[in-house]
């Protein structure tokens, strides 16, 4: 074990952890904004209750996303300083713009929204949650544009004197085709999580809390969440399909690794299940659907999909001797888990909708259980999606331009990385438990009472309690 | 003006903004156990910064991002070189940020006590370490010809840097106390104002010593003027606090922080991270910078968006301008 391994593990752990909170922030910010808009439009208290209820869950999660996000930005400099030196001219810009354009918007307006219930006119208060939601969603674009440069570097040249990558076309970086398709894919994946949480909480109250006066509100949330899950899963599939084709073109090794396809095939078949040798270098048993991989990768059932061994030979002659294949079992399984868990969430959403058709109240114990695990499924799908796309790029940190092992900080010792890895893992583990328990506590508590307090207009403004206080 | 100079200024401005804004909310966090005698009072303190602390922290993220974009070499050397102090700052900011949001989520006293500790340490640790870090940047650290940091943790804990840490600690405490006097009513306001004056006197001594020491390391005419201005602003702020002109007191401590940071950056220019070893290791605004093309794009983005951000962030402070006191804290 050396500093490189630990730095990689740290990046993996902190990034996957960060992305447990991000999808909920992205999706729920918009869903809460929609609920508040409905209240604003109709004046129906049910939507106000739901806004406050899901808003609370949103904020418990939001705090975690914010604090774990700071680590992400600093980590590049701390553990990956040679990477930062190499790509800083290109990679730093989207990060800085993300902070200036998106994070300020998000953080300032979320503060206004949390504390502004009685301080702002209703319309402005509604605008605040929308501004925060837009900031959140916008931030995803910039960070994904930065990540897409690592997958498919564009708009740059290598300075022969310094050996560093230099920006030549910023528009090309922002309109990188990988970024353009990854953005909607990631957003749809995020709404999958947010919709699922909405269903879980709503369904639990519909089934467990039958006599509640707020059953109508919970039923509405359950349905809204289910539709969000179904629509976003359709979008995930659609964008994922385009992604597959782009990946086949710009990162053929990743596509081959996703499929465990060792030799180039035309037509190529899609592996439903492949059992490989332990080191992942050859297959032992495989169940395959003919033509499907060619179709997914190229749009043509007879198209050629390059295999790992051929690509390895090609890269070795292009970049010099070395192993240019990622760890195949990791890419192969993470790819399948991503798809599988995502589809499972969509299937449950369908069941939930069916169980409530024509005003019925679901009673099945199994449905309730399935509903309870529902948000975990798209969360896992998101995590595996990231593991797949980042591990599938290996051994490169910037595809074709810099190897991961050359990006690590030279001045940072193994002890230092181990210290930070241990510290982050510990604090993250503790906070995960705390956060989960709080979410459950507040989800169980149900929608709040929103009857306005006896508004004594004689009370001096300075004496009145705050509408919300920490 | 050269774009590298523009970005040197912008990074300086972003860190200055960060220290002024998060400076007072670090101060509030550290004063929590001192000025908050019971849970209701502690909630008053926390709620003075409740709507704004997150936006304040984004100044740091933006400063870090701007450094990465405009001076990648500086970002890379600084963050990998000051590894353990930065790690501590990050851990502190994590605990503190979550604490604000989670503290009131459960009624148990033990739960609140734990988050109060997270707020206190999460504010105190960065308040000291930012001073240590910036003093070291200013003083110079061992960098080899490749701009890699070759010192250890102990190199960062030299007496000058520790005095820098003490200075930021004092400045943020005073700034926080003055802010609380400005934003609260009743008993807390009285005690915060009185404490601000006491803290301020000690801070003034530390700050004058630190800035004088700094100017013996490197100096320029502008830096001397700025340092004198910082001292005067601090003294002016304290005088205003003494006569309970809280708005002026806050302006005084804010200007003092701004001018103290400006002193360091002014004397540092054109270096951004001097090396105490090989002169070739010194990072400057030129050799650490991105290409003119990147700087040009970033300049446009900054020119367009910075005024917008300042406008809506300023507006937020206006919306929450009202003082609060224990009578404003709801039961739950």
| Three-state helix/strand/coil letters over chain A | CCHHHHHHHHHHHHHHHHHHHHHHHHHHHHHHHHHHHHHHHHCCHHHHHHHHHHHHHHHHHHHHHHHHHHHHHHHHHHHCHHHHHHHHHHHHHHHHHHHHHHHHHHHHHHHHHHHCCCCCCHHHHHHHHHHHHHHHHHHHHHHHHHHHHHHCCCCEEECCCCCCEEECCHHHHHCCHHHHHHHHHHHHHHHHHHHHHHHHHHHHHHHHCCCCCCHHHHHHHHHHHHHHHHHHHHHHHHHHHHHHHHHHHHCHHHHHHHHCCCCCECCCCEEEEEEECCCCCCEEEEEEECCHHHHHHHCCCCCCECCHHHHHHHHHHHHCCCCCCCCHHHHHHHHHHHHHHHHHHHHHHHHHHHHCHHHCCCCCHHHHHHHHHCCHHHHHHHHHHHHHHHHCCCCEEECCCEEHHHCCCCCCCHHHHHHHHHHHHHHHHHHHHHHHHHHHHHHHHCCCCCCCCCCCCCCCHHHCCCCCCC
Checking if the pLDDT of A456 tops 60, the result is no
Q: Inter-chain contact B101–A431, Cβ cutoff 8 Å? A: no
- Per-position DSSP letters for B208-236, written without gaps between them: HHHHHHHHHHS--HHHHHHHHHHHHHHHH
- pLDDT band for position A224 (50/70/90)? very high
Q: List the single residue in B with minimal CA-CA distance to A103.
A: B58
What percent of chain A is modeled with pLDDT above 90? 72
What pTM, to 2 d.p., does this model score?
A: 0.93
Checking if the pLDDT of A278 tops 80, the result is no
Task: Determine the Cα–Cα distance for residues A69 and A97; give it in Å rounded to an integer.
Answer: 15
Q: What is the pLDDT of residues A173-208, one digit of tens each?
A: 999 999 999 999 999 999 999 999 999 999 999 888
Tokens of B76: 């890379």
Q: Does B32 touch chain A (CB under 8 A)?
A: no
Q: Inter-chain contact A96–B66, Cβ cutoff 8 Å? A: yes
Task: Determine the Cα–Cα distance for residues B300 and A228; give it in Å rounded to an integer.
Answer: 38
pLDDT at B201: 95
Residue scoring higher pLDDT (A286 or A163)? A163
B118 interaction partners in chain A (CB closer than 8 Å)? none
Q: Does A425 touch chain B (CB under 8 A)?
A: no
What are the extents of the domains in chain B?
A: 3-328
pLDDT at B158: 95
- pLDDT band for position A272 (50/70/90)? confident
- Asked if A73 and B79 count as a contact pair (C-beta separation under 8 A), the reply is no
**Chain B, 39-98: which have a CB under 8 Å from a chain A CB?**
43, 46-47, 50-55, 57-58, 60-62, 64-70, 72-73, 75-81, 83-84, 86-87, 90-91, 93-95, 97-98
Indicate whether this complex's ipTM tops 0.90: yes
Which 3 state secondary structure label does DSSP give B271?
strand
Checking if the pLDDT of A465 tops 90, the result is no
Q: Please name the residue that has the structure tokens 């070395």.
A: A322
Classify each residue of A361-387 as buried b or exposed e, where b means 16 or more C-beta atoms within 10 Å of its C-beta: ebeeeebbebbeebbbbbbbbbbbbbb
Q: What is the pLDDT of residues A49-106, one digit of tens each?
A: 999 999 999 999 999 999 999 999 999 999 999 999 999 999 999 999 999 999 999 9
Residue scoring higher pLDDT (A272 or A241)? A241
Q: What is the pLDDT of residues B66-98, one digit of tens each?
A: 999 999 999 999 999 999 999 999 999 999 999
- pLDDT band for position A277 (50/70/90)? low
Low-confidence stretches of chain B (pLDDT < 50) are: none
B202 — phi, psi (to 5°)? -60, -40
What percent of chain A is modeled with pLDDT above 70? 96
Task: Determine the Cα–Cα distance for residues A190 and A320; give it in Å rounded to an integer.
Answer: 40
A66 interaction partners in chain B (CB closer than 8 Å)? 54, 57, 97
> Which of A3, A17, A108 to probe the B interface (max B CBs under 10 A)?
A108
pLDDT at A356: 84
Q: Inter-chain contact A99–B64, Cβ cutoff 8 Å? A: yes
pLDDT at A457: 55
- pLDDT band for position A279 (50/70/90)? low
- Asked if B319 and A121 count as a contact pair (C-beta separation under 8 A), the reply is no
A426 interaction partners in chain B (CB closer than 8 Å)? none
Q: Inter-chain contact B54–A461, Cβ cutoff 8 Å? A: no
Tokens of A204: 């639990």
Q: Residue A266 region, left (φ>0) first, then alpha (ψ -120 to 50), else beta? A: beta
Residue scoring higher pLDDT (A462 or B168)? B168
Nearest CB to B320; choose among A78, A119, A462: A119
- pLDDT band for position A453 (50/70/90)? low
Checking if the pLDDT of A458 tops 60, the result is no
């Amino acid at each position: 074990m050396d500093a490189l391994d630990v730095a990689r593990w740290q990046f993996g752990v902190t990034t996957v952890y960060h992305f447990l909170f991000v999808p909920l922030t992205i999706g729920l910010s918009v869903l809460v904004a929609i609920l508040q808009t409905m209240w604003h439009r109709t004046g129906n208290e049910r939507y106000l209750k739901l806004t406050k209820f899901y808003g609370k869950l949103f904020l418990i999660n939001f705090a975690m996303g914010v604090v774990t996000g700071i680590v992400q930005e600093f980590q590049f400099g701390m553990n990956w300083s040679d990477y930062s030196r190499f790509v800083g001219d290109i990679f730093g810009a989207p990060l800085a713009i993300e902070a200036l354009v998106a994070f300020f918007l998000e953080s300032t307006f979320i503060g206004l929204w949390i504390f502004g219930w009685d301080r702002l006119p209703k319309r402005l208060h509604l605008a605040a949650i929308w501004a925060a939601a837009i900031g959140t969603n916008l931030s995803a674009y910039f960070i994904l544009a930065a990540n897409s440069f690592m997958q498919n570097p564009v708009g740059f040249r290598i300075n022969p004197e310094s050996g560093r990558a230099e920006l030549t076309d910023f528009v090309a970086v922002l309109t990188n085709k990988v970024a353009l398709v990854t953005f909607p894919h990631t957003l749809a994946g995020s709404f999958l999580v947010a919709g699922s949480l909405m269903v879980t909480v709503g369904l639990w109250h519909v089934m467990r809390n039958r006599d509640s006066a707020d059953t109508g509100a919970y039923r509405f949330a359950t349905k809204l969440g289910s539709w969000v899950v179904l629509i976003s899963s359709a979008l995930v599939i659609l964008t994922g399909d385009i992604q597959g084709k782009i990946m086949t073109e710009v990162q053929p090794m990743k596509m081959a690794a996703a499929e465990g396809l060792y030799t180039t095939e035309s037509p190529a078949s899609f592996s439903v299940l492949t059992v490989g040798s332990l080191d992942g270098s050859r297959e032992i048993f495989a169940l395959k659907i003919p033509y499907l991989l060619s179709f997914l990768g190229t749009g043509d059932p007879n198209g050629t999909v390059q295999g790992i061994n051929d690509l390895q030979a090609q890269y070795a002659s292009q970049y010099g001797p070395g192993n240019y294949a990622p760890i195949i079992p990791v890419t192969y399984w993470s790819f399948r888990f991503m798809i599988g868990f995502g589809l499972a969430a969509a299937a449950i959403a369908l069941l939930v909708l069916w169980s409530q058709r024509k005003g019925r109240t679901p009673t099945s114990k199994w449905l309730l259980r399935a509903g309870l695990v529902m948000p975990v499924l798209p969360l896992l799908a998101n995590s595996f999606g990231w593991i797949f796309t980042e591990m599938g790029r290996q051994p490169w940190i910037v595809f074709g331009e810099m190897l991961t092992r050359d990006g690590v900080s030279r001045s940072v010792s193994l002890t230092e990385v181990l210290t930070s890895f241990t510290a982050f893992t510990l604090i993250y583990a503790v906070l995960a438990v705390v956060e989960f328990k709080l979410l459950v506590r507040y989800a169980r508590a149900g929608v709040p009472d929103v009857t306005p307090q006896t508004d004594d207009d004689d009370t001096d403004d300075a004496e009145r309690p705050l509408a919300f206080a920490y | 003006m050269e774009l590298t100079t523009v970005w040197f200024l912008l990074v300086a401005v972003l860190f200055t903004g960060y220290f002024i804004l998060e400076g007072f909310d670090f101060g509030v966090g550290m004063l929590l156990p001192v000025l908050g005698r019971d849970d209701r009072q502690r909630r008053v303190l926390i709620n003075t910064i409740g709507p704004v602390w997150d936006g304040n922290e984004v100044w740091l993220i933006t400063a870090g991002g701007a450094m990465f974009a405009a001076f990648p070499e500086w970002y890379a050397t600084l963050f990998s070189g000051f590894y353990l102090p930065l790690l501590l700052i990050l851990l502190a900011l994590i605990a503190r940020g979550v604490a604000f949001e989670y503290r009131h989520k459960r009624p148990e006293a033990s739960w609140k006590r734990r988050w109060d500790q997270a707020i206190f340490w999460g504010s105190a640790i960065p308040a000291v370490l930012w001073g240590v870090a910036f003093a070291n940047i200013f003083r110079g650290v061992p960098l080899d010809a490749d701009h890699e940091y070759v010192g250890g943790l102990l190199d960062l804990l030299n007496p000058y840097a520790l005095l820098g840490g003490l200075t930021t600690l004092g400045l943020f405490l005073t700034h926080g106390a003055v802010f609380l006097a400005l934003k609260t009513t009743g008993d807390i306001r009285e005690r915060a104002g009185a404490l601000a004056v006491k803290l301020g006197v000690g801070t003034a001594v530390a700050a004058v010593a630190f800035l004088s020491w700094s100017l013996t390391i490197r100096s320029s005419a502008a830096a001397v003027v700025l340092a004198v201005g910082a001292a005067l602003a601090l003294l002016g702020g304290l005088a205003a606090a003494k006569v309970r002109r809280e708005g002026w007191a806050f302006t005084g401590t804010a200007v003092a922080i701004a001018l103290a940071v400006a002193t360091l950056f002014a004397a540092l220019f054109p270096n951004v991270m001097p090396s105490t070893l090989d002169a070739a290791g010194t990072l400057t605004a030129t050799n650490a910078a991105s290409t003119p093309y990147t700087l040009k794009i970033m300049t446009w983005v900054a020119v367009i968006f910075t005024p917008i951000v300042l406008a809506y962030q300023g507006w937020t402070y206006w919306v929450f301008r009202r003082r609060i006191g224990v009578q404003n804290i709801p039961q739950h």
